[in-house]
Amino acid sequence: MYAQMVKTASSGVKSREEMSEQERVFQDKIDADIKIEPRDWMPDDYRATLVRQIGQHAHSEVVGQLPEGNWITRAPTLERKAILLAKVQDEAGHGLYLYSAAETLGVSRDQLIEDLLAGRMKYSSIFNYPTLNWADMGAVGWLVDGAAIINQVALQRTSYGPYSRAMVRICKEESFHARQGYHIMMKMAAGSVAQKQMAQDALNRLWFPVLMMFGPSDKDSVHTAQSMAWKIKMDTNDELRQKFVDQTVQQIEYLGLELPEPGIKWNDETGEYDYSDPDWSEFFNVIKGNGPGNVDRMKARRAAWDDGEWVRDGLMAHARKKAAAKVAAE
Amino acid sequence: MNNEWPLWEIFIRGQHGLSHRHVGSLHAPDAEMAIKNARDVYTRRNEGVSIWVVEAKHIAATAPGDKGPLYEPSESKVYRHPTFFDIPDEVGSM
């Protein structure tokens, strides 16, 4: 998802007998769906895992602005341009909500950004794929934000209060994103033969990268048990992926597009769609930094941080000067 | 010198004449910029008609451990609620 393969800081799920008194009280609260708040006691591993997960989620929101920002100046109409601008602005806000949630755990935002720029933290693999044309703006909003919603709706119930509240706020705004994307697809699928072909191509190209957003298959997912016991992961990767496939097939059919791969078939026994696995070696390769866009994305983030430094410093210097003058006048 | 912008807590009064309510936080160099940023981040969809910003370090708060001594005493004082008193129907609304 926007947070993939977050390494859980833990040596395994402890039984009640192995827990200290504090840990038992903590786990009881989680089991009773009582939110953990910033100043409550929490295990160091819970805190460390949350910082990684929320930090990665925040980085994904911010890096996720790049593939769409690429098309703001080339939107086909003024209205589409204003809509895309509003969506990309929302993503900046989502990044902010999440950095704020992470900061309540005792880490600074600047530190998280430096960790990203130094390659110590990651962002979602999906944003390392290029957006080649306007149809991709439709497919990204529809599929990428659609996949994110499935994960984030579940995370509204997460155990950490500030993270949960950030998710509630984000989910409210996210359905605008998915709908505006689907609306672009509707327009193109009902357009000329060439436009419909562009829509089909965007769906085909992004399908597997979007399935990868949910992270590796459960059988290869080593971090799940503890994160689920702590309720910082609410469903397994495969459960969320299945949900996404099931809801998306109908949306593809409404557009009148072909299914993106031949493995998608209704299964009467399971009552769900079967689908083909993505190429997981591609996923691990992108995560390692070798996707088509990794180098450019990091270059853009570093340039934004470095080129913005004089503005951050200048505004801070001005604020200090004004505060000092005010003290002197009093 | 650490030039990370300080953290501000943002409070917004919604449309319906209610009190200002905490909606989140943001970083800004000073109060004026905090208000401008809060307007951009927290009121893009008509969520509010008034903004308060307070630098986070100025907020004093109770500690989680104080919960017992602070709030338990009121649990035994059920007579503070109007439903504690049985008033006969004949009396009319009260």
% of chain A at pLDDT higher than 90: 88
CB distance A244 to A273 below 8 Å: no
Which residue in B89, B41, B78, B65 sits closest to A92, CA to CA?
Answer: B41
Task: Give the pLDDT confidence of A185-212 residue by residue, as tens digits.
Answer: 999 999 999 999 999 999 999 999 999 9
Judge whether residue A75 has pLDDT over 90.
yes
Which candidate in B9, B41, B42, B62 is best for mutational testing of the A interface (most A CBs within 10 A)?
B41
Interface contact flag, A39 B64, Cβ < 8 Å: yes
Interface contact flag, B30 A322, Cβ < 8 Å: yes
Count how many domains chain B has: 1
Chain B CB contacts of A109 under 8 Å are 4, 27
Task: Give the pLDDT confidence of A2-13 residue by residue, as tens digits.
Answer: 777 677 777 678
A190 CB near a chain B CB, below 8 Å? no
pTM for this prediction: 0.92
Q: Does some domain include residue B94?
A: no
Judge whether residue A257 has pLDDT over 80.
yes
The pLDDT, as a whole number, for residue A218 is 87
Q: For tokens 């994960």, what's the residue?
A: A151
Q: Does some domain include residue B92?
A: no
Burial of A245 (0-12, 13-18, 19+ CB in 10 A): middle
SS3 A133: coil
Q: Does some domain include residue B1?
A: no
A108 CB near a chain B CB, below 8 Å? yes
Interface contact flag, A96 B64, Cβ < 8 Å: no
The pLDDT, as a whole number, for residue A219 is 86
Q: Lowest-confidence range among A214-218, A316-320, B37-41, B64-68? A: B64-68
CB distance A167 to A173 below 8 Å: no
Within 10 A of A313 (CB to CB), how many other CB atoms are there?
13
Which candidate in B1, B2, B3, B55 is best for mutational testing of the A interface (most A CBs within 10 A)?
B3
Instruction: Name the band, by pLDDT with cuts 50, 70 and 90, for residue A1.
Output: low
Alpha-carbon distance of A92 to A89, in angstroms, equals 5
The whole-angstrom distance between residue A16's C-alpha and the CA centroid of its chain comes to 33
Judge whether residue B1 has pLDDT over 80.
no
Judge whether residue A50 has pLDDT over 90.
yes
Judge whether residue A276 has pLDDT over 60.
yes
ipTM for the predicted complex: 0.87
Give chain A's length: 330
A114 CB near a chain B CB, below 8 Å? no
- The distance of B4 to chain A (nearest Cα, Å) reads 7
Which residue in B54, B53, B3, B11 sits closest to B29, CA to CA?
Answer: B3
A175 CB near a chain B CB, below 8 Å? no
> What token pair was written down for A222?
């080593």
User: Mean pLDDT throughout A113-128?
Assistant: 95
* Domain span holding position B79: 7-83
Nearest CB neighbour to B4, from listed A108, A169, A173: A108
Q: How far apart are the first and last CA of chain A?
A: 53
Q: How many CA atoms lie within 13 A of B9 on its CB side?
A: 12
The pLDDT, as a whole number, for residue A14 is 84
Nearest CB neighbour to B24, from listed A39, A86, A100: A100
Interface contact flag, A315 B29, Cβ < 8 Å: yes
Q: Does some domain include residue B90?
A: no
Closest-CA residue of A relative to B41 is A93
Helix axes A44-63, A294-307, angle to 10 degrees: 90
Q: Does some domain include residue B88?
A: no
Give chain B's length: 94
Q: Does some domain include residue B58?
A: yes
Instruction: Name the band, by pLDDT with cuts 50, 70 and 90, for residue A33.
Output: very high
Q: Does some domain include residue B36?
A: yes
Nearest CB neighbour to A109, from listed B27, B29, B40: B27
- Amino acid identity of residue B22, one-letter, is H
Q: Does some domain include residue B93?
A: no
The pLDDT, as a whole number, for residue B65 is 82
Nearest CB neighbour to A318, from listed B7, B24, B29: B29
Task: Give the pLDDT confidence of B5-55 residue by residue, as tens digits.
Answer: 999 999 999 988 899 999 999 999 999 999 999 999 999 998 899 999 999
Domain CATH number, residue B17: 3.10.20.520
- The distance of A165 to chain B (nearest Cα, Å) reads 9
- The distance of B17 to chain A (nearest Cα, Å) reads 21
User: Mean pLDDT throughout B81-89?
Assistant: 94
The pLDDT, as a whole number, for residue A220 is 81
